[in-house]
């Protein structure tokens, strides 16, 4: 089974621009979660989607948004980029609808904002 | 709300020595607890998980952890460190139907030859 894939792997943007990151979950997984990883704040939860519905959202400004498509692929968008948005963005997929099942992480997208 | 605290941001061990990484959790309900490992420029890989079954959990690569409710701890151990264990380790907590993980700050492990 192919793992979680994230594209692009690296991205450089300038302040004020917007960016879209993509995540393809493991085949058959319907839950996709996004996390931001920075040296200062560590790993922080952004949001989680299941069957195209957002079930949980972290404490991030509205500039951060996401969506999930009918094939379970997910995208996250950051508008009006700030220097502090530079981070590794990790996507994880999971197979069940409730309770808890293992989250499988992708390699991440490294975003640098100049 | 759930949270975890990892004691020690850096741990240095000799090859062949015991690895002990400490994690304490806070949760208003019985938690699910996890240890993940991250190698440079990679995502997170699950080492092991506690989901209310056996309190001593065995994971991959010789790691194990023990859930101690009275101490609200979930410490990770490996009897004999290997050079390949050098990485960053994260403890995480969630609760049933919460759909998110709350991570500790991480512990970087270096292994001395």
Q: Residues A15-58: pLDDT tens digits?
A: 999 999 999 999 999 999 999 999 999 999 999 999 999 999 99
Q: Residues A49-101: pLDDT tens digits?
A: 999 999 999 999 999 999 999 999 999 999 999 999 999 999 999 986 556 67
* Cβ atoms B15, B112 nearer than 8 A: yes
Cα R_g (chain B), whole angstroms: 13
Q: Minimal CA–CA distance to A66: which of A29, A35, A100?
A: A35
What is the distance between the alpha carbons of residues A45 and A55, in angstroms, rounded to a whole number? 12
Cβ–Cβ below 8 Å for A33 and B99: yes
Closest-CA residue of A relative to B52 is: A100
Cα R_g (chain A), whole angstroms: 13
Which residues from chain A sit within 8 angstroms of residue B51, using beta carbons? 100
Q: Residues B44-77: pLDDT tens digits?
A: 999 999 987 788 999 999 999 999 999 999 999 9
Residue B43 CB partners (closer than 8 Å, separation 6+): A4, A90, A105, A106, A107, A108
Say what the pLDDT of residue A52 is: 95
Say what the pLDDT of residue A25 is: 96
Say what the pLDDT of residue A97 is: 59
3-state secondary structure of B85: helix
Which residues from chain A sit within 8 angstroms of residue B49, using beta carbons? 102
Phi-psi category of B85—alpha, beta or left, where left has phi over 0 and alpha has psi -120 to 50? alpha
Strand partners, B54: none
Per-residue buried b or exposed e for B27-60, using 16+ beta carbons within 10 Å of the residue's own CB: beeebbbbbbbbeeeebbebbbbbbeeeeebebe
Which residues from chain A sit within 8 angstroms of residue B103, using beta carbons? 35, 42-44
Cβ–Cβ below 8 Å for B51 and A100: yes
Output the six-digit token pair for B96: 């049933």
| Ramachandran angles phi, psi of B2, nearest 5° | -110, 150
A66 touches chain B (CB under 8 A): no
What is the distance between the alpha carbons of residues A26 and A92, in angstroms, rounded to a whole number? 9
Q: Which of A37, A100, A104 to probe by mutation at the B interface, max B CB count within 10 Å? A: A100
Say what the pLDDT of residue A99 is: 61
When CB atoms are compared, the residue of B32, B41, B100 closest to A58 is B100
Averaged pLDDT for residues B93-109: 91
B96 touches chain A (CB under 8 A): yes
């Amino acid at each position: 089974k192919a793992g979680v894939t994230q594209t692009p792997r690296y991205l450089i943007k300038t302040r004020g621009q917007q960016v879209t990151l993509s995540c393809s979950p493991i085949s058959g997984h319907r839950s996709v979660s996004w996390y931001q990883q920075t040296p200062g704040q560590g790993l922080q939860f952004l949001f989680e989607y299941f069957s195209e519905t957002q079930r949980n959202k972290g404490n991030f400004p509205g500039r951060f948004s996401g969506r999930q498509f009918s094939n379970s692929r997910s995208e996250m968008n950051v508008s009006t980029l700030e220097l502090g948005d530079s981070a590794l963005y990790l996507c994880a997929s999971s197979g069940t609808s409730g309770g808890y099942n293992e989250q499988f992480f992708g390699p991440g997208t490294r975003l640098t904002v100049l | 709300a759930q949270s975890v605290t990892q004691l020690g941001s850096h741990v240095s061990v000799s090859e062949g020595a015991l690895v002990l990484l400490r994690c304490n959790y806070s949760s208003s309900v019985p938690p699910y607890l996890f240890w993940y490992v991250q190698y440079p420029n990679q995502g997170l890989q699950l080492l092991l998980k506690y989901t209310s079954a056996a309190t001593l959990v065995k994971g991959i690569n010789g790691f194990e952890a023990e859930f101690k409710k009275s101490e609200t701890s979930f410490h990770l151990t490996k009897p004999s460190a290997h050079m390949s264990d050098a990485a960053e380790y994260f403890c995480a907590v969630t609760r049933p139907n919460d759909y998110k993980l709350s991570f500790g700050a991480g512990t970087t492990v270096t292994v001395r030859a």
